[in-house]
Amino acid sequence: MNSCAVIIVNYNTGKLLSQVIDCVIKAEGVDEIIVVDNNSTDGSMELLPDNPKIKIILRKTNTGFGSSCNLGAKHAQSEYLLFLNPDCLIQKDSIVESVKTFNKSCKLAIVGALVKNSDGTEQQATRRGLPTLWRAVKTYTKIEKLAKYCGCFAGVNLNYKPMFKQTKQVEAISGAYIFIKASIFKELGGFDEDFFMHFEDLDLYKRSLDAGYKIMLNPQIEVIHYQGTSSQSNSHVSDYKKQSLQRYFCKHCSLFSCYVIKIASRFLR
């Protein structure tokens, strides 16, 4: 069995963090559980169980999601890395199925899961196209809600389509469950730490595809994501989203797109 390190970045996730850790401990194929805490103040870290697989890294300040993911990866010794949100519950076979997906495909960098809401419905960001100016316009104006009537209205999110039954190549997956080969993560330079939070996952996907790798979504891997648990305790989330949106477009898109997004983001909530 290939080794896997599960890396979880925590910031005031509350009691849910311990539930997530319990699921990870019970999952097959987990060799390391690395929890990086971004200076939480809610006592969530004190609720973690005593387990030899768990390694805790405490940061004195909140340096952002990508930065702490990179730090966790540096402490991992496993062949595979799973970047798991602190409010995402995995199944017992999630890791095993992710490794199997890698074994079936060449030039594969990242495997994603079918991420569900607590009510069992597919979460919006489970399968996405990488942002372009036109896609962003349709997403942020909510025109993409009409995509179920005509695909021409589709924005970044692709959940208007029926979920496929077999593993399929996609441009982007949910950032709640990112399963990647450690060697490829290192080759790509990890997450861009200039993204404090949000869009660091899309940036990683874009760089993976540009390097010639594939991203696959396996719908047989199902996880539940209680979206936004950590974000609720951070009053600056909206500002971080705008900053990251601008950085993504200025880094990966045309100067015109970057300019338009910088102006348009002023009006986003």
CA–CA dist 92, 161 (Å, integer): 28
- Output the average pLDDT for the chain: 94
Residue 90 has pLDDT above 60, yes or no: yes
Say if CB 179 and CB 114 are below 8 A apart: no
Average pLDDT for residues 196-220, to the nearest whole number?
Answer: 97
Supply the Cα-derived Rg of the chain in whole angstroms: 18
β 54-58/32-37 pair status: parallel
CA–CA dist 117, 67 (Å, integer): 27
Tell me: the pLDDT tens digits for 235-247? 578 898 999 999 9
Average pLDDT for residues 249-266, to the nearest whole number?
Answer: 93
pLDDT band at 194 (very low <50, low <70, confident <90, very high): very high
Protein fold of 4-116+164-233: Spore Coat Polysaccharide Biosynthesis Protein SpsA; Chain A (3.90.550)
Ordered by start, the domain boundaries in the chain are: 4-116+164-233, 123-162, 235-269
Inter-CA distances, 227 with 113, 120, 242, Å: 15, 13, 19
| pLDDT at position 250 | 96
CA–CA dist 206, 246 (Å, integer): 15
